[in-house]
Amino acid sequence: MSKFTAAELVEFYKKVAAGGVMELNTKGNWYVQGYSSPNISSMTDQWRIKPAKKIIDMAHFIKSGIDCEFSDNDISHWFINKLIEIGDPLKPYQCSIDEQWDKCRPRMNHQMYHDGGECPLPNGFGVKVYHRNGDSSYFDTATGQKEWVHRVHSQDIIGYEIFGLTDGYKYAWERLKRREP
């Protein structure tokens, strides 16, 4: 067990400034800290930084043309359309019928056709892919490297279904939510 050095504290707080979350180990459990923080007399093994989640690149959906879901404050109701622009900080997501929305995500739990080319999704999604031979498989777009090119082969990907975000990712509009424990 050792105490923080000045250099270690500087590195610790740089990680906090970059979006990391301070956690304190109390009786074997890690708790998010908002009211206390380590200092030069704190033990290093009692503190850690929970890494900040990566933000999904929504601009990818403008290029890919995938159906997106749009919503404002009530996320129990989503409107389906195409994302055409990301701009105004108050209502950043513009769909093809010239309306602007607070929130945007790709269409969830819906089977979509894929006709070859690059993977139509950015990193951070849990996806089920459908193959030409009728098989399906689940993978994470951040870690599961799949060949999306068609060669008229039984393992060609002909469709996909997005189930949600994988660990370590969030949407830009979730920045305003309180930090997760």
pLDDT value of position 96? 85
Helix (H) or strand (E) holding 84: strand 79-86
CA 9 – CA 15 distance, rounded (Å)? 10
Q: Is residue 178 part of a domain?
A: no
Looking at 107, 128, 143, the residue that finishes a domain is: 107
Same domain, 43 and 15: yes
Domain range spanning residue 93?
54-107
pLDDT value of position 180? 43
- Residue 82's nearest CA partner among 110, 56, 104 is 104
pLDDT value of position 148? 64
Same domain, 88 and 128: no
pLDDT value of position 149? 59
Q: Is residue 172 part of a domain?
A: no
Look at residue 17 and give its three-state secondary structure: helix
pLDDT value of position 141? 74
- DSSP lists the bridge partners of residue 116 as none
Q: Is residue 151 part of a domain?
A: yes
pLDDT value of position 93? 92
Same domain, 144 and 101: no
Domain count, the chain: 3
Same domain, 112 and 160: yes
pLDDT in tens, the chain (181 residues): 799 999 999 999 998 887 788 999 988 888 888 788 999 999 999 999 987 788 888 988 998 888 999 998 777 789 999 999 998 777 899 998 888 999 999 999 999 887 766 778 888 898 888 888 888 887 777 665 555 656 666 677 888 899 999 888 889 888 654 444 4
Same domain, 114 and 162: yes
pLDDT value of position 107? 94
Contact 108, 165 (CB under 8 A): no
Same domain, 95 and 68: yes
Same domain, 96 and 62: yes
Same domain, 37 and 61: no
